[in-house]
Structure 1
């Protein structure tokens, strides 16, 4: 366990760091146009972050004790294929959700 003083120091420092990162974009350069090269790179932020958030939930799901299972892998595969072919994020997510819950229901895990 961490003592309360260390915990609050960590919380305050993380809060200051988070505020500092946001302030750089909104406070310092918020009213100026960004260069084209930076805007081009910022377009890929979601594409870079989303797989990092989703991959652990597919590969090491807490619901199965960290082991791979077919419904989650199938849902991830359906979502990837639907997103690639249809170019529609909402439809891809919905198809992946239907696949996941359908697979869990078929395997008796719901």
Structure 2
């Protein structure tokens, strides 16, 4: 019984803390002026978070802790990055990247 009460207390504290953190940014947003340098640098946060999420899955497939040379995801990712760099088209990048991945997986499986 005591551990259940402590667990609910932790849930309540985390919920109140999360609400307070989000509320303070909403309340401060109208009152403070964000410096232009910080505002420009915050534009790169989504891309860097996406890269931090995708890169380990590409470099270490299936959660392996070592670098694998016959990994078909790496050349496909390099080709997709090149397409993204030159065309700036999300749909074309996804299409070419998936086609390259399937082609490299077929080549690795057939060898």
TM-score with structure 2 setting the length = 0.65
Question: Paired residue for 2:71?
Answer: 70
Q: Cα RMSD between the aligned structures?
A: 3.5
Q: Deviations over 1:42-64 (max 9, x none)?
A: 11112211111011101111177
Aligned to 1:39: 39
Runs of 5+ in structure 1 lacking a partner? none
Which residue of 2 is the match for residue 57 of structure 1? 57
* 1:22 Cα offset (Å): 3.2
> How far is the alpha carbon of 1:36 from its aligned partner?
2.6
Aligned in 2, Cα 1:104/1:63: closer, same or farther, shift over 3 Å? farther
Note if 1:23 corresponds to 2:28: no
CA distance in 1 between partners of 2:66 and 2:11 (Å):
29
Asked if 1 retains the 8 angstrom alpha-carbon contact of 2:61 and 2:71, the reply is no
Instruction: Tell me which moved more, 17-26 or 96-105.
Output: 17-26
User: Retained in 1: the 8 A contact 2:83–2:93?
Assistant: yes
Q: Distance in 2 between matches of 1:8 and 1:104?
A: 48
Looking at CA atoms only, which structure, 1 or 2, has the larger radius of gyration?
2
Q: In structure 2, what is the Cα distance between the partners aligned to 1:88 and 1:72?
A: 20
Aligned residue pairs total 107
On the 8 A contact 2:72/2:104 being kept in 1, the answer is yes
* Unpaired stretches in structure 2, ≥5 consecutive residues: none
